[in-house]
Amino acid sequence: MINKVTLKNFEILRDIHWENLSKVNLIIGENSSGKSFLLKSLYSANKTVEEFKRGDDNRSIGEILAEKLYWTFQNDKIGDLVSKGEDKLHFEFSFDNKGFSYGFGKQATKNIQYLNNALAERKSNSIFFPSKEVLSLYHIVIKSREQDKMFGFDDTYFDLVKALQIMPKGGRNYEVFANSRKSLEKILGGRIEYDETSKKWQFKNDKNQKFAIGVTFEGIKKIAILDQLLSNRYLDTSSIIFIDEPESALHPSAICQLLDIISALAETGIQFFIASHSYFVIKKLFLIATEKKISIPIISLSRDEKAAAEYNDLKNGLPNNSIIDESIRLYEEEVEEALK
């Protein structure tokens, strides 16, 4: 499990020191405040550790990291990730209290200036859920990356598509995974399947009616992806899942149900990092933290580069934040109108 993370001069994230992380961790802030950037920085580092020495891959860990940063952030040179006006960036995270850190200057093309790795080899897989679903873009992503080798769909999309290519497996699985899949299918009203004949994804509802994935609601497709990765065993109880805007295209009730499933999966050992600007997400996770008496660390980011990140824990209450403040303001305005 990732215990803490430090970033210095990493593009918009000039000074982040987030520690005492837990199984479920929340990143909030306005648009362009760096939420997705923080998620991707964590994902690219963790994925680097996973790919190092796996199978017949004989690349050095520095080569893996440089390539991961290049294809995840898609800059002409990785040195462009250094904050404007600064000379170099620094990234560090602690995994089960053992460290991984790296850094490079603004002139770096695809070379990592320094890298220290004290982490053991990881057998489990992490995955990133982008705000946009990938099932409708499945073949486009593959062609863009495997054939054309072009920017457009970053590694969060490409890695997810590759993970979805693994077909479901039979036999016994974790009981919580099985229960979570039942809950997911209840939200969906069915499940997604890959049709070998047409080579396309399709949605089959609980009445066995089949629909092309392109005409299926985006919220259904996003939830179905989690169901697929539990089914094909890409994820296990030591996996880390990064989710960008889980609220996108989901009804508030579906958001709450999804977060209940995430809470149950976290109890098995899976770690979650969630980026959101939804009051429903914040409020639901606050209720989960309160009811289960668990820690859910929350970092609040701002578009103002001079404003420091704020660190809180939802078990201690809702923090002051523009998202929460605006939701409260709208509620108070509604009450005032009702009392007139």
CB distance 28 to 299 below 8 Å? yes
247 pLDDT above the threshold of 90: no
Q: Give the pLDDT of residue 2.
A: 95
Instruction: Give CA–CA dist 236/173, Å, rounded.
Output: 9
Q: Give the pLDDT of residue 327.
A: 65
Ordered DSSP codes for 200-213: EEEEEETTS-EEEG
Q: If pLDDT is split at 50, 70 and 90, which confidence band does 171 have? A: low
CB distance 16 to 6 below 8 Å? yes
Q: If pLDDT is split at 50, 70 and 90, which confidence band does 170 have? A: low
Average pLDDT over residues 251-277: 91
15 pLDDT above the threshold of 90: yes
Q: Give the pLDDT of residue 83.
A: 95
Q: Give the pLDDT of residue 26.
A: 97
Instruction: Give CA–CA dist 165/181, Å, rounded.
Output: 18
Class of 1-125+235-340 in CATH: alpha beta
Provide, for the chain, the percentages of residues in helix, strand and coil under a 3-state DSSP scheme, each rounded to the nearest 5. Answer: 40, 25, 35
Q: Give the pLDDT of residue 308.
A: 85
27 pLDDT above the threshold of 90: yes
Q: Give the pLDDT of residue 9.
A: 96
Average pLDDT over residues 315-336: 71
Q: Give the pLDDT of residue 216.
A: 73
Burial class (CB in 10 A: 0-12, 13-18, 19+), 216: buried
Compute the mean pLDDT over every residue in the chain, rounded to the nearest whole number.
Answer: 88
Q: Give the pLDDT of residue 328.
A: 64
Q: Give the pLDDT of residue 265.
A: 92
Tally of CA atoms within 13 A in the half-sphere of 153 that contains its CB: 27
User: Tell me: the pLDDT tens digits for 186-237?
Assistant: 877 877 787 777 777 888 888 888 887 776 777 777 788 888 898 888 999 9
Q: pLDDT higher for 277 or 191?
A: 277
CB distance 88 to 103 below 8 Å? yes
User: Tell me: the pLDDT tens digits for 35-91?
Assistant: 999 999 999 999 999 999 998 889 999 999 999 999 999 999 999 999 999 999 999
Residues 6+ apart with CB under 8 A from 132: 218, 248
Q: Give the pLDDT of residue 339.
A: 63
Count the residues in the chain.
340
State whether the Cα torsion 150-80-100-57 is positive or negative: positive
Q: If pLDDT is split at 50, 70 and 90, which confidence band does 333 have? A: low
